Amino acid sequence: MYELTGVTRRHTRGKDVVDALAGVDLTIADGDRLVVQGPTGGGKSTLLQMLGGLDRPTSGSVLLDGVDLAGLSEARLTGIRGEKIGFVFQSFNLIPTLTAQENVETALVPLGVKPRERRERAAEALASVGLGERLGHVPGELSGGQQQRVAIARALVKQPRVLLADEPTGNLDEATRDEIMDVLETRCEEHGLTFVMVTHDSHLARRAPRLVTLREGVLVPS
């Protein structure tokens, strides 16, 4: 359960002042599926950073299950990210030197899971996204769609409360896009995840159960 009130994120560089977010109020219920759209530079990624505890607002509050992420120390925030929040990025962000399995394991490292269990859970997570045969492959040996599946497995392996995806299909062709969306939606439904996805894709936006639009840091009715 997210409750955002008056969330503003101001970037100041010299005399230039940019409000990436300018007073956003937003509530997202547990198990909600929210799609954020809007023109480039509208503040979509910034909003995701606020939700994921990757960045803090300049003002306003971001309550996750009643805890204000804006007021937490970096260490606590890191703990919450490791435990509750899964990320999927547009450019996959896999560690290029690690195998698919090891990449998935990285999400379990901060939780202190023992290596053996880590390997098992990673293998299961990869199997659930259809990559059971590709455990030992490094990202360079996988297609874009497969890499994004690895990233989804990495986001879900720790069984988070929230899944945040920033243009997860932005680098994929249409057929792969639909595959990935399928995987994401079924996984989220299965686990009852709160799912927030940023997209430019009007096709995906149209399919969304709940849609918000960000323009110049402000939520506008869509």
Partner 1 sequence: MFFTYLRRELRRRRRAALVVASGLALGIALVIVVDAVSSGMGRAQARVLESLYGLGTDMTVTKAPEPSAEGEEDDRRPRFRFDAQGGEDGGEGEDGEKQSSDRVMVQGFQTLDAATVTEVGEADGVAAAAGGLSLEVVTVDGEFTPGRFQQPEGGGRPGGGAAGEVRGGGADFSVDGFSVHGTDVTRPALGPLTSSEITDGRGFEETETSAKVAVVDSAYAKEQELGTGDTVTVGGTGFEIVGLATASSGDAAADVYLPLAQAQALAGAKGEITTVYVQADDAQQLDAVRSAVLEAVPDATVTTSEDLADTVSGSLSTASGLAVTVGRWLSVVVLTAAFLVAGLLTSSAVSRRVREFGTLKALGWRSRRVTGQVVGEAVVTGLLGGALGIALGAAGAWAITAFGPSLSAQLGGAGGSGASGGPGGVMGAGPAGVMGGGMRQAASRSLDVALTAPVSLSVIALAVGLAVAGGLVAGAFGGWRASRLRPADALARVA
Strand boundaries in the chain, DSSP class E: 2-13, 16-28, 33-37, 59-64, 67-68, 85-88, 162-166, 194-198, 210-215, 218-220
132 — phi, psi (to 5°)? -60, -20
CB of 157 to Mg ion, least distance (A): 25
Contact by Cβ (8 Å): 132, 120: no
CB of 102 to partner 1, least distance (A): 6
Contact by Cβ (8 Å): 7, 23: yes
55 interacts with partner 1 by CB under 8 A: yes
45 interacts with Mg ion by CB under 5 A: yes
Which member of 44, 81, 134, 187 binds ligand ATP (CB under 6 A)? 44
Nearest C-alpha neighbor of 41 from the set 68, 11, 1: 11
In the complex with ligand ATP, which residue's Cβ is closer, 67 or 220? Answer: 220
Nearest C-alpha neighbor of 158 from the set 217, 60, 81: 81
Strand boundaries in 81-217, DSSP class E: 85-88, 162-166, 194-198, 210-215
128 interacts with Mg ion by CB under 5 A: no
CB of 63 to Mg ion, least distance (A): 23
CB of 176 to partner 1, least distance (A): 21
- Interface with partner 1 in residues 64-103 (CB under 8 A): 74-75, 78-79, 81-83, 87, 89, 91, 93, 95-98, 102
- Interface with ligand ATP in residues 12-41 (CB under 6 A): 13, 18, 20, 38, 40-41
CB of 159 to partner 1, least distance (A): 13
Which residues of this chain interact with Mg ion, rule CB under 5 A? 45
